[in-house]
Structure 1
Amino acid sequence: MAEALPEYPDSDFSDDDLSPLDITFNKAADHVRKLTSSLTNNQLLELYGLYKQGIEGKCEAPKPGWLDGRGRRKWEAWRSLGNMPNEEAKQKYIALVQRYAPELAELSEHNETGMKEAWVAVSSMRKSPEPELVHNELSILDAARENCADRVTELLAKLPELRHERDDDGLTALHWAADRNATKALQAALDGGCPVDVADDSGQTALHYAASCGHVESTDILLKAGASLLKDEDDCTPLDLAADDDIRKILEGAK
């Protein structure tokens, strides 16, 4: 399970020195520690990225090495937020925590008026838009990451060139779907003609991602689609990076 938050540094500021937004943000962050056992890995990664963006702004940290699978996924969750302003990240973080823990709306009533007003203002500002609108705004990479198979199929049918769409690190829709174990989107991308053995900027294919993350289903889907056990720039195959014995058995059987 990924860590939702880093350790908090000791602060020299009291609540009196903080804005209502920061007070509520800190309250939400404190509560996340109580939720970690009930949240999925992807939910924790999303929280982690928003927290880091809210505290530090745009990700300028170097990308962790490929053997540090958990560190790489946390880095990607943060970096995917790009230039999102700190305040917007904090607002989204608060709204997300409240979605996972509705009782926080009640807890805020027992605090100072400023905190209560900040919580209400943020949650009302961040109501989810209509599902159809969200669906229509997703890029091919976002759709793959969020496991929106219908959107992947739709985009590839309209714009076949998106089969080769990459982010700044060379990740395609297949890489993102494999990384998140978004199996429906992964299959949709393959059915739409995305090349199965395309490599990112480090020579890693989607199979490297699925194997290093321990995603059995995604690994199986990619192998059935003809994925090869290619070497990356560090001379590592997906088998070399396999996260557990189940993945190793599947890959060894594909040799």
Structure 2
Amino acid sequence: MSTSDFSDSDMDIDPIDEVFSEAAEHLQKIHNSIDSTDLLEIYGLYKQATCGRCNTQKPSVFNMQSRSKWCAWNDLGEMPSEEAKRLYIEKVQKLDSTWQPKQKLGDKQKSSPGWVVHSIPQRLEEADQKEHEKNAFDYIKEGNLIQLQNALSSEIMEILDENGMGLIHWAADRNAVDILKHLIENGLDVNFRDSEQQTALHYAASCGHIECIRILLNANADPSIKDADGQSCLDVADNSDICELLKS
């Protein structure tokens, strides 16, 4: 079958998907300035937009962080995916009135699917989480290398958390340079993949964390690895400088 067998309409990308991806990417730049209530709302809308109705069991009352996120998603009920995307976009615009998407709703353009950073914004963690409830993942999110060293064990070095991310993905996502070095020095596979087959290099490239990229490349991270959507870290790179670094 040749490309001529497809009409232009077959290749049109729904503009709302384009703007939704832009909004999700922009959120990563501003999430540190957003309070936890708004972040929970944003999280629920994102899950509803990308996964549909909540389809997971309610977490235990002893896991308040996961329980809060589950409730934010579950409360949206049968809301259609497109409506959730529109509300997500409106929420990001409300949180940052200076942001304007490149793609306008109502327009159509041809484009390949984009890769959206899916990690949970940093301040979504429960502010009142008790110290004895924390684990290695929590310490990475906090950037607490000392506590991580005490909590780190071979059993959790290559497991995925509730968000489908491993320790190394969180370190790259948070730009936690010292923690990333520590994980690699302790034998964590630099090419370890998350639930969407993305490596830490995907995260660092997408977020624009140059020092993390250098650390990963020096540890022989493979920039040619492709995720579940067939995209390499070069495909999701934040800018041309990062692309050049990855190529070198």
1:247 counterpart (206, 224, 242): 242
CA RMSD of aligned residues (A): 3.4
Residue 231 (structure 2) aligns with:
236
2:236 counterpart letter in structure 1: L
TM-score by length of 1: 0.53
1:77 counterpart letter in structure 2: P
Identity of counterpart residues, as a percentage?
A: 30
Q: Residue 162 of structure 1: SS of its match in structure 2?
A: coil
Q: Kindly indicate whether residue 56 of structure 2 is the aligned counterpart of residue 67 of structure 1.
A: no
TM-score by length of 2: 0.54
Structure 2 stretches of 5 or more lacking a match? 1-22, 24-28, 45-67, 86-112
Residue 121 (structure 1) aligns with:
none
Deviations 1:94-133, CA, capped at 9 Å, x for gaps? xxxxxxxxxxxxxxxxxxxxxxxxxxxxxxxx7xx9xxx8
Deviations 1:25-69, CA, capped at 9 Å, x for gaps? xxxxxxxxxxxxxxx856225x2x432437976342889986234
Deviations 1:124-167, CA, capped at 9 Å, x for gaps? xx7xx9xxx84x653111111221112222222xx221101321
1:151 counterpart (124, 137, 147): 147
Residue 91 (structure 2) aligns with:
none
1:226 counterpart letter in structure 2: N
Q: Kindly indicate whether residue 44 of structure 2 is the aligned counterpart of residue 50 of structure 1.
A: no
Residue 168 (structure 2) aligns with:
174
CA distance in 2, matches of 1:193, 1:59: 37
2:193 counterpart (180, 195, 199): 199
| Contact persistence 1:59–1:78 (CA under 8 A) | no
Q: Kindly indicate whether residue 137 of structure 2 is the aligned counterpart of residue 141 of structure 1.
A: yes
Q: 1:59 to 1:207 in 2, by over 3 A?
A: farther
Q: CA deviation at 1:181?
A: 0.6
| Contact persistence 2:205–2:213 (CA under 8 A) | yes
CA distance in 2, matches of 1:240, 1:80: 28
Q: Residue 160 of structure 1: SS of its match in structure 2?
A: coil
| Contact persistence 1:170–1:200 (CA under 8 A) | yes
CA distance in 2, matches of 1:66, 1:242: 11
**Which moves more between the two structures, 190-199 or 49-58?**
49-58
Q: 1:222 to 1:66 in 2, by over 3 A?
A: farther
Q: Residue 115 of structure 2: SS of its match in structure 1?
A: coil
Q: 1:246 to 1:78 in 2, by over 3 A?
A: closer
| Contact persistence 1:183–1:218 (CA under 8 A) | yes
CA distance in 1, matches of 2:114, 2:168: 17
Q: 1:208 to 1:232 in 2, by over 3 A?
A: same
Q: 1:217 to 1:166 in 2, by over 3 A?
A: same
Residue 217 (structure 2) aligns with:
223
Q: How does 1:60-139 map to 2 (within 5 A)?
A: 60=73, 67-69=115-117, 72-73=118-119, 76-77=120-121, 81=125, 134=131, 137-139=133-135
Q: CA deviation at 1:169?
A: 3.3
1:188 counterpart (166, 182, 194): 182
Q: 1:204 to 1:54 in 2, by over 3 A?
A: closer
Larger Rg: 1
Residue 60 (structure 2) aligns with:
none
